[in-house]
């Protein structure tokens, strides 16, 4: 389950649709969430330009004139809609994710520029989050920052930031660390202004189900906002399998390479394992010696007595294993080089 959120800044602008459609394909996106569509009465045909030919469902909030407008598109094979609610500033859909019985609430928003209107929006969303059960993911253009470091060359409003952080805390929302960049909005004026206005916020239940989800800022394209993504399908299948063909078995060079590599690997492992065992053996002997010294000076606890017995059993096992290795090594050397008796019998058998 992967999300793509973007302040599109006019859906009808040139190159917007192909850009978003390519991102959807590349990032295997299941939800596309657009802000500032600047368009009323968007049809499925209009939205399919962003989605492609695969199955889709959607809901939209019309713009007022050339201001605002929201669109939410998703894969119905991944998310099954049960209810929805919209206002001029946000749209909320609730339903079930494939393979899960719990409710997932998805809220796409575009916060107003006016500070007091933003605070009213924060209050409205807080009520929804606190009263509707299930997992929550809230995203979009918040038009606010959480710290002064999230703005460069633009005015920082301490009061607005405090209100924004209070909303996040009051709604019990959390934020995944975002990779790929520190800012999501770049002003097109002569003096470059940077801000982190776009983000994903989730509740504890969402983070419980997707603890390894990754939030990222994608490369800025046709909009003045960077797309942001939340990837919940983080699957690591390990290293790419190595293919070994039967036709290689007859090649002496391959056999030599495999033999040498295995030999080097085993020698390295044995050296490290031997050093580790020797270190453990010395530590156990020191502990036993210390306990026995304490016993000479006076009474020792039952716990120390039991520990001494356990350590002596382990020491005996390690020393026995080491003795077997030495015995086998001596036997190999005898077969290879012989000894004094071997030379005696060899001379008489000629």
Place of tokens 């596309």: 32
pTM of the shown model: 0.67
Spans of the chain below 70 pLDDT? 188-190, 234-245, 247-249, 296-299, 323-350
Other C-beta atoms lying within 10 Å of the C-beta of residue 266 = 10
The single-letter DSSP state of residue 167 is H
Q: Report whether 319 contacts 284 (CB < 8 A).
A: no
Residue 84 bridge partners (DSSP): 93
- Residue ranges in the chain assigned as alpha helix (H): 16-27, 44-51, 115-131, 158-170, 204-209, 252-297, 302-337, 340-348
Q: How far apart are CA 11 and CA 69, in angstroms?
A: 10
The single-letter DSSP state of residue 240 is P
Residue 254 bridge partners (DSSP): none
Per-residue burial over 242-258, b if 16 or more Cβ lie within 10 Å, else e, is: eeeeeeeeeeeeeeeee
Provide the CB-side half-sphere exposure for 192 (13 A, CA): 5
Tell me the Ramachandran region of residue 180: left when phi exceeds 0, alpha when psi lies from -120 to 50, beta otherwise. Answer: left
Place of tokens 């190999």: 332
Q: How far apart are CA 79 and CA 91, in angstroms?
A: 16
Pull the structure tokens for residue 31: 């939800």
pLDDT digits (tens, 9 = 90+) for 14-31: 788 999 999 999 999 999
Pull the structure tokens for residue 135: 């997992």
Q: What is the pLDDT of residue 322?
A: 72
Q: Name the residue among 91, 3, 12 with its Cα closest to residue 50.
A: 12
**Complete DSSP assignment for 100-136:** --SEEEEEEEE--SSHHHHHHHHHHHHHHHHHS-SEE
Q: What is the pLDDT of residue 110?
A: 96
Q: What is the pLDDT of residue 237?
A: 44
pLDDT digits (tens, 9 = 90+) for 116-127: 999 999 999 999
The single-letter DSSP state of residue 28 is T
Place of tokens 């049960």: 82
Pick among 3.40.50.1970, 3.40.50.620, 3.60.10.10, 2.60.120.10: CATH of 2-231? 3.60.10.10
Q: What is the pLDDT of residue 236?
A: 47
Q: What is the pLDDT of residue 336?
A: 57
**184-192 long-range contacts, Cβ below 8 Å, gap at least 24?**
184/217, 184/225, 184/226, 184/228, 185/7, 185/224, 185/225, 185/226, 186/220, 186/224, 186/225, 186/226, 187/153, 187/154, 187/224, 188/224, 191/153, 192/152, 192/153
Per-residue burial over 99-122, b if 16 or more Cβ lie within 10 Å, else e, is: eeeebbbbbbbbbeeeeeebbebb
């Amino acid at each position: 389950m992967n999300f793509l959120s973007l302040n599109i800044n006019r859906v009808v602008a040139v190159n917007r649709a192909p850009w978003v459609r390519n991102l959807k394909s590349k990032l295997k996106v299941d939800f596309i969430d657009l802000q500032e569509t600047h368009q009323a009465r968007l049809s499925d045909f209009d939205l399919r330009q962003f989605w492609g030919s695969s199955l889709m469902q959607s809901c939209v909030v019309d713009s007022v004139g050339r201001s605002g407008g929201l669109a939410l598109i998703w894969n119905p094979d991944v998310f099954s809609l049960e209810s929805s609610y919209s206002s001029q500033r946000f749209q909320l859909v609730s339903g079930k994710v494939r393979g899960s019985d719990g409710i997932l609430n998805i809220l796409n928003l575009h916060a107003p520029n006016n500070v007091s209107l933003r605070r009213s929006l924060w209050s409205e969303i807080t009520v929804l989050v606190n009263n509707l059960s299930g997992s929550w993911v809230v995203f979009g253009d918040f038009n606010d920052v959480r710290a002064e470091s999230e703005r460069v060359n633009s005015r920082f409003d301490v009061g607005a930031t405090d209100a924004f952080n209070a909303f996040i805390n009051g709604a019990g929302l959390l934020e995944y660390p975002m990779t790929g960049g520190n800012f999501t909005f770049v002003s097109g004026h002569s003096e470059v202004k940077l801000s982190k206005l776009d983000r994903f916020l989730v509740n504890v239940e969402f983070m419980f189900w997707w603890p390894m989800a990754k939030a990222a800022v994608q490369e800025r394209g046709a909009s003045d906002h960077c797309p942001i993504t939340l990837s919940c399908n983080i699957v690591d299948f390990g290293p790419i399998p190595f293919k070994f063909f039967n036709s290689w078995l007859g090649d002496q060079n391959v056999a030599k390479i495999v033999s040498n590599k295995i030999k080097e690997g085993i020698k390295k492992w044995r050296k490290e394992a031997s050093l580790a065992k020797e270190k453990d053996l010395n530590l156990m002997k020191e502990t036993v010696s210390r306990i026995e010294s304490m016993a000479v000076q006076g009474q020792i606890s039952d716990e120390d007595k039991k520990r001494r017995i356990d350590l002596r059993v382990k020491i005996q096992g390690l020393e026995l294993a080491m003795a077997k290795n030495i015995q086998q090594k001596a036997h190999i050397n005898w077969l290879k080089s012989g000894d004094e008796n071997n030379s005696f019998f060899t001379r008489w058998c000629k």
